[in-house]
């Protein structure tokens, strides 16, 4: 085990060098793309509905 002084040194070093954010995993990237695709589809659906309603009111 480390002595208390060693722990203090280790903690100081960790504070100076925080972990770098990890690169996105393939799954995460895929999930984000999928989310964007779903969002686009949802917006398209809503605009279609709005257009249809608008046509009915004319």
Under 8 Å between Cβ of 37 and 30? no
CA 25 to chain centre: 11
pLDDT value for 3: 83
| Entry pTM | 0.43
Provide the CB-side half-sphere exposure for 22 (13 A, CA). Answer: 5
Please name the residue ranges forming H helices in the chain. Answer: 4-16, 26-57
Rounded CA separation 35/51 (Å): 24
Rounded CA separation 6/3 (Å): 5
pLDDT value for 29: 84
One pLDDT digit (tens) per residue for the chain, 58 residues: 678 888 888 788 777 776 666 667 888 888 889 989 999 999 999 898 888 888 887 7
pLDDT value for 43: 92
pLDDT value for 26: 80
């Amino acid at each position: 085990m480390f002595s208390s002084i060693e722990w203090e040194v280790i903690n100081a070093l960790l504070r100076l060098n925080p972990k770098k954010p990890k690169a996105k995993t393939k799954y995460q990237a895929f999930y984000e793309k999928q989310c964007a695709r779903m969002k686009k589809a949802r917006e398209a659906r809503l605009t279609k509905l709005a257009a249809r309603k608008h046509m009915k009111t004319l």
